Structures are given as C-alpha cells and as structure tokens.
Amino acid sequence: SQLEGLVRRNPGVLREEDDSGASLVHHAAGAGNVPVIRFICSNTLRDEWNLYDDEGSMPLHWAVERNQSESCRALLELGAEPNVLNKALMSPLHLAVSHQHNHLVKVRHSLYRHVPSPSKTLLISHPLRGKCMNLCQNKLGHFAIHAAAFAGAKKAMEVILKAGEEMGHSIEEHINVLDKSCCSPLHMAVRGGNVDIIKFCIQKGAKIDQQQMDRSTALHFACSQGATEAVKLMLSSYSRVDRIGLNLTVALLLSKGANVNIKDKSGCNFLHLAILQPKGLKNLTGDILQHSSMLDLLSTEDNEGCTPLHYACRLGIHESVKNILVLQVSLERKSKDKKSALHFAAQYGRINTCQHLLETITDSRLLNEGDERGLTPLHLASGGGHTKVVELLLRKGALFHSDYKGWTCLHHAAAEGYTQTMKIVLANNIKLLDKLDEDGSTALHVAAREGQVAAVRLLLQRGAEISLNKSHASFFHEALQHRRKDVVNAIIDSDRFDQSCGLRVAKLPKSPRFGFLIEYNFQWLQAPIALKKHAKTNKSLKVQPLAALNAMVNYNRIELLTHPVCKKYLEMKWVAYGSVAHLLNLFVYLLGLLPLTHLIVSLRPSLDYTGPDNTTAVTMVPISFRERLSYLKDISNIQDWYSIIFSLLFVIALFFNAEGSWHWQAGALAIIMSWVNFLLYLQRFEHFGIYVVMFQEIARTLFKILLLFFFLMLAFALVFHALMLNQEEFERLDLSLIQIFVMMVGELNYQSNFLDIYLHNKFPFPFITFYMLVLFIIFMPILLMNMMIGLAVGDIAEVQRSAALKRIAMQIELHTNLEEKMPYWLLKRVDQSSITIYPNRKSNEVRTHLLTNSSNSTSVEAELRKQKQRLKEISSVLEKQHDLMKLMIQKMEIISEADEHDGPTEVKGYRQRSNWGQAKCSKWIPLMKAIKRKNV
C-alpha cells in the first residue's frame, strides 16, 4: 500500500536505480517479494523492469544467486530471458548449477513452456548455425558437445546429438562442429583420454583427418600423449583411399565430351597435373592414353614451355616417361630456356630416365645440344654431382663442350665441390685440367673462389697449372679476396705452397699448425740476404731492412704486428743480435750511472773527489748530429742530455772544489734523471717492457688531468690562504698551494691543522673555513682521485694496446738501425729464414734432429686410411651386386618398388652459388610443395 501511494505521487520512482545500477525489481527478486515484483511489472513495460545492473545481471540472476525459487518462478512466468549472460559469461542456469540450487533447475524445466519459442530454438540451433555465439560458446569457442566430449560424458553427448537431430541437424555435422581453433569433439575426446568417447565419436562419423589451425589431427594428439589404444583405434577405423576411381572418372568425362584443352593459370593441362601426382600416368589406363586427343596434349606447353614429358623427366617418373615415349612424342621439344627432356633428367640425376631417353634418341645432336646458356646435359649433371649420369653420358658419346662463359663440365663440378665427378671427368679428358674460360680462369680458380677445399686439393694433386687469369689473379688471390680461410690453409698445407706464392701474393694468410711442430717461415717478411749484398755494390738498388714490419708500424696494423709469425720473427732478431746489442748498450750506460750513484751516496760537500767523467756523453754528440730532428722526438734522448749536463756540472764542480750547494742540486737532478732513463732502457725487453710503456701512457694522462684541475687547486689554495690567517702552512701562496697538493692525496692533518686550532678559538672564520674544508674533501680527495682511478681502469685496454704497438715499434726500430750498420758476414751468420718449434718437446737439438719427420703419420691415421679404403671397396662391391640384381629382375620381368626410385628423392633447383642457375622464380617450386603436402 505504501509503494502504491508512492507510485501515485511519483510514477518515475519505479525506474530508480541504486549506486550499483540495480533497479527495484532486482532488490525485490533478491528478497523474494513476489507481490512487489508483480506490481512493478504490471505498472511498467518489460524493457523497463528487465534491466541490467553494472555487473550485467538481470533480476533473474539476483533471484538465482539468493536461492529465491518463487521469485524465479514469477520472473519466468512474466517472460524473463533465462539464457542471457552477465559480464562473467554466466546465465541464470549457470548460477543455479554452480551454487548447487538444484530445485531452481527443476523450476526452470517445469516452466520451460513459458520461455518464448525463439529462445528455445536458439538454445540448440545456434551452436550449429553460428548465430548469437555468446549464447552457446565459451571464450574458447567450445560448444556443449565439446565440453561433453572432453569430460567423457557419453550420455550427455547422446542427448545433445539427439536434440540437434530433432532440430534438423545431422549427427555427422554435429559431431564434426569446430570451435575457434578448428578443434572438433574428437580432438577434445583424445585430450580427455577416454577411449570409449573416442570410439563413440568415430562411430558417429567423426573425421579422423580433421586438422586444427596448427594442422594437427586427433591422431597427432594421441601419439604425443602416448595413448596406444587410442592410436590403434583410430588407425583401424581409418582407411586412406589413394585411388578413388580416377581413371574411371577421367574416362567418363572424356566420353561426355569434356574439353581437354583447358589450362589453369600456370598453363598446365590435365596431363601436366596427372604427372605431378604420385605414380604419374600410372593412374590413367591405356585406353585413356590411346585417346585421340592425348597426342596433342602431350605436346602442349605450359607458361614456361614445358611439356608433360619435361615434367616426367624432372620428377624421375620413368614409367610415365616410358608411356609417353611409346606414343612417339618428339624429344626435340624444348622449354623457353631451351632445355630438352634430357636436360631436365640429367640436371636432377634421373639415371633411369636418362637411360630410357638415350635408348630412344636417334639424333646424337640432342646429347650435346646446349640450352640458352650453352649448358649441355653433361654440364648439368656435373654441376649436380650426379656421377652415374655423367658416366652414362660419357659412355653414350657426350662431348666436352664449353658453355657460353667458357666453362667446361670440370668447371661446374669444381664450383660445387663434387670431387668424384671431377675424377670421372679427368679420367676421360685430362686436358680439361688447365682449360680456360672467357675470363682466363681454370677450374682451380673457380674451386678456390667458391671455397671448395676438397676440389682445390684434388686439382693441386693432379698437377693443375698455377696461372693468372685476365684479372691478374691466381687461385691463391681468389681464395684470399673471397675470404676462403679453409682453402688458404689447404694451400699452405700442400706441397705446392711455394709455387702458389710465387705469383705476386697480395697478403699473407695465417700460418697453420702441423701437428706437434710449428714452422715459422719468414720468406715474405724480409728480403733475401743475397739481395742485401748486391744492394751494397749497386747503389741504385735500395733494400730497407724489415720493410714489411716498418710498413705495418706506419699504418698501425697492430693485428699484423701481433701475428705469431711477426712476433716469432722479432723474437728471432732479438735473440740473434738485438739482445746482445741492447745489453751492451745498457752495460755502457751503467758504466756512467753506477759511479754517479756512488758519488751521491758516499761524498759530502767537505770531501774532494776527482772521479771519472760520464762516458755516455762521448757518443751522444755524433748520434744527435746524424739523427737530426728525429733524434729530438724521442723523450729518452732529451732525458739523456739533461742527465749528462747535470752530471757534468756536478762532477766538474767537485773536481774544482766549487763553493756553494748548486752543484749538489745538479747532482740530485742528474741522479733521478739517470735512473728514470735507465728504467726506459728496460722497455725493450719483452716480458716487462710493456709495463714501462704503459707507465708512460698513464703518466701522460695524469699530467693532462693535473693541468686541467690546477685551477681548482689554485682556488682552494687562495681560499685557505685568505681564511687561515695564523697558520704557517698557508702563510704564503706558494706554501698554500703545496699544502693543498699534499692534502689532495689524503694527508689532511685534520687534528693539527683544523681541530686543535678550533678548540683553542684561534679560527678567525670557523664556519666558512669548515664549509670550505668539506667542499675540498668532496671535490679533491674523493671526486678527483676516484675520477683519475676510473680513467686509468677504463682506458687500461686501450693503453695496453697502444703500449704493445709502441714496444713492438721500438723493437723494429732497433733491429732496423742495427741491420743498417751490421756487416754482411755477421748478418748472414745470425739471420734465419725460418724456425721450427716443437712446443710439446724439450729444447734439445740432437733429439729434435733425430726425431723430426713431419711426413710420418701416427698409427691411428694409418689405420683410418686403411678403414676408409676398405669402406670404398665394400661400397664398390655392393654397387656391382645391386646392378647385377637389378639386371636379373629386369630379365625376369619383376616389378619392384625400387624401380620407382630414379635419382635423388628431393627435387632441388640449382644452387644459389651456381653461375648457371635460373634468374627468375620458377613455378616448379609451388608445384613441388603441393606434391610434398599431398604425400604427407
């Protein structure tokens, strides 16, 4: 009564909603107040009371969630929709089942007659018709039949299939319905693992070969799960029909007057497509092949000019080739790239097809005819490495022609690295070994350019001529320019390495390793000794010592200078004469340094001393005049002069008993410069010389940083000079600057310089003084020092690389200067053209001489060679037996599965590296892919 009075005063109150979007009917349904529900529904339209809340729930959802059976009954009687989903994709029936309100389900079924007929139809028909999918599918697109199959509910599946059949949908259509991922109920049954359900699905007509989006069938799933029983069940229930009366269908179409001249977009007629199928023309009967229109169809070309015979020869279906040849088809028909049927058969290694074609050919010109690139069948077979086809063509009289680029069959075989084919070709015509193409390149050039190691070794062993092509490049140049490292190493290992390097080598390859010994050959790093002797008599001939290494230094080639051959070459020079000369120079330097040190240590100003003079100065003057400006570029030479001058001032003053202390200051400078210069002498030694050079580099960086931050040091020196008025350390600006420099390294003396003075109230400006002290500690000892350490650590790799280059450059400069001054007889005695190192043996010349034999192989290698030879013999015997058995089978007219194999199993196009490959994309590729998919 209150609600009625409220509605009379304000009718719009019935459409009010709370904060969650729920109307009055929602709350009445949830509370089970049926009279209020009927009152509201009678005073409003259906669209006004059957509304959604913010969660997408209708009043019926509220009634089911709160277990209000009377509210559910009333709403269903008033026409509430029972199949609407909320935002959680839950219908009222879902909620009743999930909350285990079974009596509500009974209410829904008892009042199902109240549900409008369209909704009843949607419940079953829409899953199959694909309409209103949100009413029949979950997020994965599964229908009810999918869920029942996965759960193993056989009875539920029977009910669902029966209901669908009543609605006009066949059981076979229903059992093969797909979800979003094209998954059928059979897939779900296999995933559930219930064999009875799998059997039920198959009995009802489920397709075993139905594929998902990832092209996996139910059989794939069963195999991946190891479900043996399921696999057996599906295999026993599935029978693939390879032949489905194709010949009868073709015969029927021909009898009805079908147009056999129609082609697809690739220009193929139905015979082209028939040959592409497994077994080719075997699928057609003899009557069909004898049809009057077949002869014309066999001569029809596709868009590439290929006839059905070309297709059969390419695929190696020799039975189809036989059938076509029986019909007297012309073998002279060629494709647009001028290839005959024999070209295709030879290119793809179809030995049986080639044999049938050669038995049929009456015109021998087809055997040696070239295509648009001048390639004969022998070229194509050699380029593919088909040895049997090559032997067959040569037995039938194939000639050794060249293509339009001048390449012979040996060139093609060498380019692809087929050594067995090369051996066959060379056995029949050895003159091809040095045959030149239009670029002047031999087969050896081609093999080296393409990186075919085995082919290069074979050609070198057969005595191939080492020559230059029209680009003035040998095969060694080709290998180096194309970065064929394996080929370069093979050339170095060969016995013809010296001959290979005799033709203007552009750059050296890496030195290889020979088992347990390493041979370092310096032939290309230095001029011959005899040439140096001739240069001394012939002034027009100038031979620079270590010319190659000096060039590396000039161009900063650290990678070349650190190469093992270059390092061993410098080591040989150092051991031979460099170390002796440097140690002698160091000894002479010590003759002056040690007496000077003795003077500084033992004498005092009151003593008189007439000691020896520094003898180093005697040779410095003529050296400086001879070297001129380059002499002053070396800092060690300048330090030598400073140490000599200060040493002379010190010694001469002592000799004349000079008064004062200036000469002692000169002696102090002389002794420190002399010992620092002595340290620089050590940088030429290999093991610790690099650290001396690194010390120089880091010191140079340090001085640059100090010069940059000198202004910061000066700023703090002025600050403390102005603030600390009563301190002697900061009394003068120079003293203040020195004190700041000492404090920068961490020697603050905080207690004596700051704390004690502050406690005795002697600071004129205590606050700002401590403030500046904190800034100083942050900027100088912490920030600056850590930055210097970071720079030193960060640049250590670059510094080490630069130091290594400089040390090697000094070594080269030392050896160059020494060799310019050494007499010929001494240089000839100490210099070596090569060194052999045995890293795993002790350094014993007698033992090395007795045991060295680089040609002897180990017992394991010898045994491997024997086994390899035995395997070759066994392979040869098996091949002969195979040919004999094949001949016997042919005589007995027995057809075996082995006869259907003709050459390689996979049809491959020309290799990308081949110079005679097709430039355009061929339509053979999609056709081959289609065949493979069907065979799978």
Question: For residues 477 and 475, what is the distance between their CA atoms, to the nearest angstrom?
Answer: 5
Residue with tokens 């032949």: 243
> Cα–Cα distances in Å, from 26 out to 4, 16, 40, 54, 208?
18, 11, 11, 12, 49
For the stretch 301-330, pLDDT in tens is 888 888 888 888 888 877 778 777 777 777
Task: Report the percentage of the chain scoring pLDDT > 90.
Answer: 10
Q: For residues 9-25, give the mean pLDDT.
A: 77
Distance from the Cα of residue 415 to its chain's centroid: 25
Enter the pTM of the model: 0.39
Buried b (16+ CB within 10 A) or exposed e, 76-89: bebebbbbbebeee
At 556, is the pLDDT very low, low, confident or very high (cuts 50, 70, 90)?
confident
Phi and psi at 517, nearest 5°, equal -130, 150
Cβ burial, residue 241 (10 Å; 0-12/13-18/19+)? exposed
Q: Which DSSP letter does residue 265 get?
A: T
- What is residue 384's predicted lDDT score, i.e. its pLDDT? 92
Cβ burial, residue 93 (10 Å; 0-12/13-18/19+)? middle
For the stretch 36-91, pLDDT in tens is 788 778 777 766 677 788 888 888 888 888 888 888 888 888 877 777 888 887 88
- What is residue 414's predicted lDDT score, i.e. its pLDDT? 93
Q: Closest by alpha carbon to 10, among 31, 24, 20, 21?
A: 24
Distance from the Cα of residue 872 to its chain's centroid: 36
- What is residue 790's predicted lDDT score, i.e. its pLDDT? 72
Question: For residues 207 and 238, what is the distance between their CA atoms, to the nearest angstrom?
Answer: 9
For residue 221, give the H/E element and its range. Answer: helix 218-225
Q: Which amino acid is residue 859, in one-letter code?
A: S
Q: Which two tokens stand for residue 169?
A: 């949908």
| Three-class secondary structure of residue 538 per DSSP | coil
pLDDT of residue 144 exceeding 80: yes
pLDDT of residue 917 exceeding 50: no
Residue with tokens 């007629």: 269
Q: For residues 909-931, give the mean pLDDT.
A: 43
How many Cβ atoms from other residues are within 10 Å of residue 70's Cβ?
14
- What is residue 623's predicted lDDT score, i.e. its pLDDT? 45
| Three-class secondary structure of residue 566 per DSSP | helix
Residues across the chain: 936
Residue with tokens 């695929």: 315
pLDDT of residue 845 exceeding 60: no
Question: For residues 126 and 290, what is the distance between their CA atoms, to the nearest angstrom?
Answer: 54
- What is residue 108's predicted lDDT score, i.e. its pLDDT? 67
Residue with tokens 């339509």: 923
Q: For residues 713-723, give the mean pLDDT.
A: 85
Outline where DSSP puts E strands in 211-255.
none
| Total H helices, total E strands in the chain | 54, 2
CA angle 218, 224, 230 (to 5 degrees): 55
Q: Which DSSP letter does residue 856 get?
A: P
**CB-based contacts of 875, cutoff 8 Å, min separation 6:** none
- What is residue 437's predicted lDDT score, i.e. its pLDDT? 92
pLDDT of residue 413 exceeding 90: yes
Q: Closest by alpha carbon to 411, among 918, 916, 920, 919?
A: 916
Mean pLDDT of all residues belonging to the chain: 75
| Three-class secondary structure of residue 225 per DSSP | helix
Q: Which two tokens stand for residue 541?
A: 């001939």
Distance from the Cα of residue 102 to its chain's centroid: 63
- What is residue 514's predicted lDDT score, i.e. its pLDDT? 41
- What is residue 288's predicted lDDT score, i.e. its pLDDT? 65
Question: For residues 550 and 560, what is the distance between their CA atoms, to the nearest angstrom?
Answer: 11
At 280, is the pLDDT very low, low, confident or very high (cuts 50, 70, 90)?
low
**CB-based contacts of 288, cutoff 8 Å, min separation 6:** 247, 250, 251, 254, 294
pLDDT of residue 504 exceeding 60: no
**CB-based contacts of 355, cutoff 8 Å, min separation 6:** 392
234 or 456: which leads in pLDDT: 456
- What is residue 665's predicted lDDT score, i.e. its pLDDT? 79
For residue 79, give the H/E element and its range. Answer: none
- What is residue 378's predicted lDDT score, i.e. its pLDDT? 93
- What is residue 862's predicted lDDT score, i.e. its pLDDT? 72
For the stretch 745-796, pLDDT in tens is 777 778 877 888 888 887 788 888 888 888 888 888 788 777 777 766 666 6
70 or 11: which leads in pLDDT: 70
For residue 352, give the H/E element and its range. Answer: helix 351-360
- What is residue 134's predicted lDDT score, i.e. its pLDDT? 36
- What is residue 916's predicted lDDT score, i.e. its pLDDT? 37
Domain locations in the chain as residue ranges: 1-115, 569-686, 700-794
Phi and psi at 915, nearest 5°, equal -85, -10
For the stretch 112-136, pLDDT in tens is 544 443 333 333 333 333 333 334 6
Question: For residues 108 and 61, what is the distance between their CA atoms, to the nearest angstrom?
Answer: 13
Q: Which of 11-25, 254-268, 900-914 has the lowest mean pLDDT?
A: 900-914
Question: For residues 654 and 293, what is the distance between their CA atoms, to the nearest angstrom?
Answer: 127
At 16, is the pLDDT very low, low, confident or very high (cuts 50, 70, 90)?
confident
- What is residue 446's predicted lDDT score, i.e. its pLDDT? 93
Q: Which two tokens stand for residue 316?
A: 């190696």
For the stretch 228-242, pLDDT in tens is 888 888 877 765 434
pLDDT of residue 895 exceeding 70: no
Q: Are 506 and 475 in contact (CB under 8 A)?
A: no
Q: Closest by alpha carbon to 671, among 730, 611, 753, 614?
A: 614
Q: Which two tokens stand for residue 871?
A: 């395997």
Alpha helices in 745-858 (DSSP H): 750, 756-759, 766-777, 785-794, 796-821, 824-830, 845-851
At 274, is the pLDDT very low, low, confident or very high (cuts 50, 70, 90)?
confident
Q: Which amino acid is residue 367, in one-letter code?
A: L
Alpha helices in 130-194 (DSSP H): 144-151, 154-166, 171-175, 185-192
Residue with tokens 């059989």: 219
- What is residue 282's predicted lDDT score, i.e. its pLDDT? 62
Question: For residues 479 and 501, what is the distance between their CA atoms, to the nearest angstrom?
Answer: 12
For residue 443, give the H/E element and its range. Answer: helix 443-450
Q: For residues 351-355, give the mean pLDDT.
A: 89
Question: For residues 563 and 65, what is the distance between their CA atoms, to the nearest angstrom?
Answer: 84
Q: Which of 156-160, 377-381, 689-693, 926-930 has the lowest mean pLDDT?
A: 926-930
Question: For residues 77 and 112, what is the distance between their CA atoms, to the nearest angstrom?
Answer: 10
- What is residue 580's predicted lDDT score, i.e. its pLDDT? 79
Task: Report the percentage of the chain scoring pLDDT > 70.
Answer: 74
Residue with tokens 């064999």: 195
pLDDT of residue 339 exceeding 50: yes
Question: For residues 26 and 59, what is the distance between their CA atoms, to the nearest angstrom?
Answer: 4
Q: For residues 439-454, give the mean pLDDT.
A: 92
For the stretch 794-826, pLDDT in tens is 666 666 666 667 777 777 877 777 777 777 777
Q: Closest by alpha carbon to 231, among 242, 251, 248, 217?
A: 217
- What is residue 47's predicted lDDT score, i.e. its pLDDT? 65
When the candidates are 3.40.50.2300, 1.25.40.20, 3.50.50.60, 3.40.50.10160, the CATH number that belongs to 1-115 is 1.25.40.20
Phi and psi at 402, nearest 5°, equal -110, 150
230 or 2: which leads in pLDDT: 230
Distance from the Cα of residue 528 to its chain's centroid: 45
